[in-house]
Amino acid sequence: MSAPFTTVAGLAIPLPVANVDTDTIIRIEHLLDNGRAALREHGFAALRLRADGSEDPACALNQADLAHAPILVAGRNFGCGSSREHAVWALEVRGIRVVIAASFGDIFVNNCYQNGVLPVTLEAPQVDALLEEAQARRPLTVSLLEQRITTTDQRHFAFSIGPWQRQRLLSGGDDIALTLADRAAIDAWQRHDRGHRPWIWSAHS
């Protein structure tokens, strides 16, 4: 379960780097650290840290005014690579609820929906325009209800999302919760099936 998603507004982290894979988002050696909260410290280490381990002040992920920014505007093919769900967790513990890019790794997108993060795919020129907004520290508003992103000068960027994924984010539910929303229909089918095929049902089911 995650917090229901309707509208997210705030500053956006500009990260115009292509092919940021899940190993860049969170290294494999940190997957077994003490809980999700520990992922924040190690998230994006390959981009945030210099060779000596110190933070690179030029990296937007290290800048204080973006420490709690809820939106990330990224380069193409974001979240490619391995299927690790921890990559989305590393975003989530930073407070990131929206990632905007021209393209994503397919498994990463599915993991986003599983964890209450909205992946928005836009055309490259639109992403570039939103990167400019992020770099200028102008906040964005992302409405899942209206399926659009709005800038401070009232430019609108529409995006599409599947109905199942949209409902999942709006409700904050997981697969089990969404399935149980149809509990009455499930129970009715089971009663019907017991009457027609009683031999497949155990005495305790």
Task: Note the pLDDT of residue 66.
Answer: 97
In this prediction the pTM is 0.84
DSSP letter, residue 20: -
**CA–CA dist 97, 142 (Å, integer):** 10
Task: Note the pLDDT of residue 42.
Answer: 85
Order of all β-strands in the sheet with 12-15: 12-15, 71-74, 98-101, 118-121
Task: Note the pLDDT of residue 60.
Answer: 96
pLDDT, tens digit only, all 205 positions of the chain? 678 999 999 999 999 999 999 999 998 877 665 667 778 788 899 999 999 989 999 999 999 999 999 999 999 999 999 888 999 999 999 999 999 999 999 999 999 999 999 999 999 999 999 999 999 999 999 999 999 999 999 999 999 999 999 999 999 866 666 666 667 777 778 888 888 888 888 766 5
Task: Note the pLDDT of residue 189.
Answer: 84
Task: Note the pLDDT of residue 198.
Answer: 84
Domains of the chain: 7-200 (3.20.19.10)
**CA–CA dist 129, 57 (Å, integer):** 24
Task: Note the pLDDT of residue 195.
Answer: 80
Task: Note the pLDDT of residue 190.
Answer: 83
Report helix, strand or coil for 62. helix
